[in-house]
Structure 1
Amino acid sequence: MTIKSPRIALILLLLVSFFWGAEFVLIDLSVEVLPTHTFNALRFAIAALSLLPLLYFARETIEKGMMPKLLGAGLLLGFLLFIAFYTQTEGLRYTSVSNAGFITGLNVPLVPVLAFLLFRQHARMNVWIGVITATAGLYLLTMSDTLALNEGDILVLICAFCFAAHIILTGRFVSTLPVTLLSIIQLTAVMVYSTIAAWLSPDPAFYYPEATPVSWQEQLSSPIIIVSILVAAIFGTAYAFWAQSACQMIIEPHKVALVFATEPVFAHVAAWLFLGEHLGTQGMMGAGLIIAAMLISELGDRKHPPKMEPLDHTAVAE
């Protein structure tokens, strides 16, 4: 399916941002009863299967000798996603959905900073302004009278760093490797890593040690868990990958960045509507600064328009 209307493309991208933001609430409710590694294993198994039909439409060519590099890149990117999604999902057990959404958004200003530190890619002034703004926003959003980040905020901050590293490395791999197959490999890798982690853990795979023991059949028949896994896998990953790839063929990158900056806003609105979360005045100021930092980092230099690769945000799924 080819998208020809810019208006339709913007609507589709806004839906992506909505799904990414809203799924925070569903995941938060699910991980209260289902361990993180098990949730992620199921989520990414379905996500990888959902992308398989795209192989037919993509008609990608695998050149001779490419498969080892493709597998290596997929396993590396998958490991970064595994850490990112584990820390984000686990972090939701200890911090608010609103905090998790806005802190995850810090991956936007972190990308050029990590690119500078890892590969000495030049970071322009707007990037450093964005980092300073984001740091101030993080302080206002998360710091209480104790002047310390809680465990959940720290985990989600690790997630933001992993997403940023994933975006940087993805940009280096997609220029020479088939994107759809690379995506499927790394999503499958996350499923495998999560399954191994759940198996190696001394805790039960389908319930927490302090909870009443239940069978996997009982746990996976829960409507909230079924809906959460399906929404996160199909809409937050498979649909998001297709929509971003298709829409960026006719939409300028700076407009895509502007739409994706609404993700944490959707997360906060969903948390307010369904969980009754409130950021307060200080938290709202911090959230506003983080969004400002995202926009400054992506849109602040008109002479060098931003370049976004497919799957830049499916991990923000996320």
Structure 2
Amino acid sequence: MNKTQIQHSLLLFLTAVIWGTAFVAQSVGMDYVGPFTFLCTRSFIGGAALLPVIAFMDRQKSEEARLEEKKPENRKVLIRGGILCGLALCFASAFQQYGILFTTVGKAGFITACYIVLVPIAGIFFGKRCGINVWIGVILAVGGLYCLCITETLRIGTGDILVFICAFLFAAHILIIDHFTPYVDGVKMSCIQFFVCGIVAGIGMLVLEQPDISDILMAWQSILYAGLLSSGVGYTLQIVGQKGLNPTVASLIMSLESVVSVLAGLLILHQTLSGREALGCVLMFAAIVLAQLPRREKVS
């Protein structure tokens, strides 16, 4: 691994730390505001944070590249991708926000990380085969979820169900991004998705909640962290850090957000895990790592 790859790996690790600790910000912020209010405000902050990044990157592009992006057909693809990503992100984040109200940030982090196992499985429907390591990972993930979510009375918690739905929606979000990023500027599409997410969440906020500016100001630190760092900085670091790295290695590094979420919950919120839940975390992390291992090609 050369110096540039090491630097990019460190950027992705920083991304995982930011995303993992954002679970704490989400939990604390909702002590003051509703899930849609939190999601709406953080999304607009995230979108606004990317505007200067886009302006800077545009100045680095050649005139030919800028003219290519301005073509109507290319702009339509960018807008379509941003809208679809924004809708997927909004619904995924909404289920996650509501789920965190009823479960710990550590469990939420690991259950959300199921998307790393779900994505290759979903790829089967698009003609992409899964290796044996993925199927073993699925079995481990099911066992991990059982330890994390099923209580001694065999009842699944409401928060666990909501976060598990969120994992499916984040898997869809990743597949949408995978489809559009070869054709569009990833940072611009992220910016559009944040504003779309903010608008849709804003509708939910006005219909289902009673937003109050004083409550929003009480939660300003959590909202700013989730919006500026988790959304704006986190997604930008992901895009920059993934360049020049094997996508398998990149995904593996970013999956550490689930571990960070547990540590953050323990250290900051003083939340605890039972031995059974700790075993679930170990099984889930093993599943995440195994699902990302490259498949060995057959030698003809």
TM over 0.5: yes
Contact 1:257 1:295 in 2 (8 A): no
Answer yes or no: is 1:173 the counterpart of 2:180.
yes
Moved more, 248-257 or 80-89: 248-257
Answer yes or no: is 1:62 the counterpart of 2:58.
no
What is the deviation of 1:33? 2.2
Matched residue, 1:44? 43
Question: What is the CA–CA distance in structure 2 between the aligned matches of 1:297 and 1:53, rounded to whole Å?
Answer: 36
**Between Structure 1 and Structure 2, how many residues are aligned?**
288
**Residue number among 104, 109, 125 corresponding to 2:112 in the alignment:** 104
Per-residue deviation, residues 64-105 of structure 1 (Å, max 9, x unmatched): 323333322221211110111001011110111111011011
Contact 1:20 1:263 in 2 (8 A): yes
Question: What is the CA–CA distance in structure 1 between the aligned matches of 2:80 and 2:7, rounded to whole Å?
Answer: 36
Contact 2:88 2:170 in 1 (8 A): yes
**Residue number among 114, 120, 123 corresponding to 1:115 in the alignment:** 123
**Residue number among 126, 145, 166 corresponding to 1:138 in the alignment:** 145
Matched residue, 1:129? 136
The 3-state SS of whatever aligns with 1:221 is: helix
Matched residue, 1:219? 215
Per-residue deviation, residues 102-149 of structure 1 (Å, max 9, x unmatched): 1011110000112223x2432222221111111111001111112121
Question: What is the CA–CA distance in structure 2 between the aligned matches of 1:277 and 1:303, rounded to whole Å?
Answer: 44
Question: What is the CA–CA distance in structure 1 between the aligned matches of 2:183 and 2:255, rounded to whole Å?
Answer: 29
Question: What is the CA–CA distance in structure 1 between the aligned matches of 2:130 and 2:249, rounded to whole Å?
Answer: 21
Question: What is the CA–CA distance in structure 2 between the aligned matches of 1:12 and 1:178, rounded to whole Å?
Answer: 20
What is the deviation of 1:302? 4.7
Question: What is the CA–CA distance in structure 1 between the aligned matches of 2:202 and 2:72, rounded to whole Å?
Answer: 31
What TM-score do the two structures reach when normalised by structure 2?
0.90
What is the deviation of 1:40? 0.7
Matched residue, 2:276? 282
Question: What is the CA–CA distance in structure 2 between the aligned matches of 1:15 and 1:178, rounded to whole Å?
Answer: 22
Matched residue, 1:10? 9
Question: What is the CA–CA distance in structure 1 between the aligned matches of 2:113 and 2:32, rounded to whole Å?
Answer: 26
The 3-state SS of whatever aligns with 2:123 is: helix
CA distance 1:178–1:62, shift in 2 (3 Å) = farther
Unaligned runs of 5+ in 1: 207-215, 305-318
Greater helix proportion? 2
**Residue number among 244, 254, 258 corresponding to 2:248 in the alignment:** 254
Letter in 2 for 1:56: A
Letter in 2 for 1:205: P
The 3-state SS of whatever aligns with 1:176 is: coil
Matched residue, 2:63? none
Question: What is the CA–CA distance in structure 2 between the aligned matches of 1:285 and 1:8, rounded to whole Å?
Answer: 33
Moved more, 258-267 or 63-72: 63-72
What is the deviation of 1:11? 2.4
Letter in 2 for 1:37: F
What TM-score do the two structures reach when normalised by structure 1?
0.85
Matched residue, 1:308? none
Question: What is the CA–CA distance in structure 2 between the aligned matches of 1:177 and 1:5, rounded to whole Å?
Answer: 24
Contact 1:37 1:194 in 2 (8 A): yes
What is the deviation of 1:4? 6.0
What is the deviation of 1:168? 0.9
Matched residue, 2:211? 205
What is the deviation of 1:300? 4.5
C-alpha root-mean-square deviation of aligned residues, in Å?
1.9
Matched residue, 1:25? 24
Question: What is the CA–CA distance in structure 2 between the aligned matches of 1:77 and 1:299, rounded to whole Å?
Answer: 27
Answer yes or no: is 1:293 the counterpart of 2:300.
no
What is the deviation of 1:220? 2.6
Unaligned runs of 5+ in 2: 59-65
Contact 2:148 2:276 in 1 (8 A): yes
Letter in 1 for 2:266: W
Identity of aligned residues (%): 31
Matched residue, 2:82? 74
Contact 2:116 2:288 in 1 (8 A): yes
Answer yes or no: is 1:273 the counterpart of 2:267.
yes
The 3-state SS of whatever aligns with 2:102 is: coil
Per-residue deviation, residues 148-203 of structure 1 (Å, max 9, x unmatched): 211111110011000101111211111122222211111110000001111222x4
Moved more, 4-13 or 270-279: 4-13
Moved more, 235-244 or 88-97: 235-244
Question: What is the CA–CA distance in structure 2 between the aligned matches of 1:105 and 1:153, rounded to whole Å?
Answer: 13
